[in-house]
């Protein structure tokens, strides 16, 4: 008879993420006594101590770390099996996760979500935002089922299908009172190195992150998304490349000035991508929706408004 249950693993996972029995109980909608009893019974059945009690806080022991590390694979496998079984029965996934680059706002998908719920109101939607390589990583790590607007080519190794859905041009922009705004010739590395850049951080956790628009040793402000970068550049906190649709209105209003640089940023291709061998009804619906002409520019327009 197995001494380890999926319910116990789920409780261990929640305790580790939340830091206490009480917080885990709140997340799982279980009373603290149930959480404590499950952990105590698991430790008794296995004959090992899983947690060290540190007052209201707890910490995993070495054995607990190993148990949870492997146990999370089992939880994920059980969740995948549940979704596959339900998908076979109904054709629709019970939950569908979409990943978008932080260049786009979640609100830009609102019209698509309304159309989706009109035909699949029993599929739960989850929208995740990542940046640069982190977006691709979320697909390969199975945190999302579909990428809409993933920047740049995906990592090598396969396991997914990717289709280009459009290209975005970038402009180098500063405020009118920035020292670089007075330059007449195209700006080179020597001039740029002397001033602060604003850069978007790659959210990749395992894959090699991308560094865009930053020189070695340069002063920089690192932000989590393009919207923050745009706002800081418009306020004069630094410089950098911005998607032309983002900067268009501020340029027309004279709030930003476009400058020529010796090494301009090439247009960025954005992709629609999904894992091979997984084609439920929700995935098919969203792929067809995202393939519509001009979809990338619609998302950008809504994100910039």
Predicted pLDDT of residue 212: 60
The distance of Cα 305 from the centroid of its chain, to the nearest Å, equals 21
3-class state of residue 199 by DSSP: strand
Instruction: Return residue ranges of the chain for CATH 3.40.190.290.
Output: 170-266
Average pLDDT over all residues of the chain: 88
Predicted pLDDT of residue 215: 57
Instruction: Return residue ranges of the chain for CATH 1.10.10.10.
Output: 6-81
Percent of the chain with pLDDT over 70: 94
Q: Kindly report the CATH class assigned to 91-167+269-304.
A: alpha beta
**pLDDT single digits (tens) 41-96:** 888 888 889 888 877 788 888 988 898 888 888 888 887 777 667 665 667 888 89
Q: Tell me the β-bridge partners of 164.
A: 271
**pLDDT single digits (tens) 188-236:** 988 888 889 998 988 888 777 766 655 556 788 999 999 999 999 999 9
Predicted pLDDT of residue 118: 92
Judged on CB neighbours under 10 Å (0-12, 13-18, 19+), 269 is middle
Which residue carries 């008794």 as its tokens? 44
**pLDDT single digits (tens) 109-168:** 999 999 999 998 778 899 999 999 999 999 999 999 999 999 988 988 889 999 999 999
**pLDDT single digits (tens) 14-23:** 888 888 888 8
Helical packing angle, 244-252 and 226-234, nearest 10°: 20
Q: 6-81 in CATH: which number?
A: 1.10.10.10
Global pTM value: 0.69
Question: 170-266, what's its fold?
Answer: D-Maltodextrin-Binding Protein; domain 2 (3.40.190)
Among residues 124, 100, 12, which one has the least CA distance to residue 61?
12
């Amino acid at each position: 008879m197995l001494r380890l249950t999926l319910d116990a693993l789920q409780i261990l996972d929640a305790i580790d993420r939340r830091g206490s029995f009480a917080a885990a109980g709140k997340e799982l909608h279980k009373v603290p006594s149930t959480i404590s009893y499950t952990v105590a019974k698991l430790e008794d059945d296995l004959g090992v101590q899983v947690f060290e009690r540190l007052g209201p806080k707890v910490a995993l022991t070495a054995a607990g770390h190993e148990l949870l590390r492997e146990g999370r694979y089992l939880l994920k496998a059980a969740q995948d099996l549940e979704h596959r079984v339900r998908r076979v029965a109904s054709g629709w996934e019970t939950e569908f996760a979409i990943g978008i680059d932080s260049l786009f706002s979640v609100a830009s998908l609102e019209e698509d979500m309304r159309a989706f719920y009109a035909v699949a109101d029993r599929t739960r939607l989850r929208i995740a935002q990542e940046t640069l390589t982190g977006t691709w990583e979320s697909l390969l790590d199975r945190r999302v089922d579909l990428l809409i607007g993933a920047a740049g080519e995906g990592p090598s190794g396969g396991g997914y299908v990717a289709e280009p859905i459009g290209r975005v041009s970038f402009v180098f922009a500063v405020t009118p009172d920035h020292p670089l705004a007075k330059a007449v010739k195209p700006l080179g590395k020597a001039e740029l190195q002397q001033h602060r850049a604003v850069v978007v951080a790659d959210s990749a956790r395992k894959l090699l992150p991308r560094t865009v628009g930053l020189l070695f040793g340069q002063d920089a402000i690192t932000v989590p998304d393009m919207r923050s970068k745009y706002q800081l550049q418009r306020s004069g906190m630094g410089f950098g490349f911005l998607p032309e649709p983002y900067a268009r209105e501020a340029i027309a209003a004279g709030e930003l000035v476009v400058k020529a640089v010796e090494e301009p940023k090439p247009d960025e291709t954005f992709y629609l991508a999904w894992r091979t061998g997984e084609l439920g009804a929700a995935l098919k619906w969203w792929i067809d929706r995202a393939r519509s002409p001009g979809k990338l520019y619609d998302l950008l327009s809504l994100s910039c408004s």
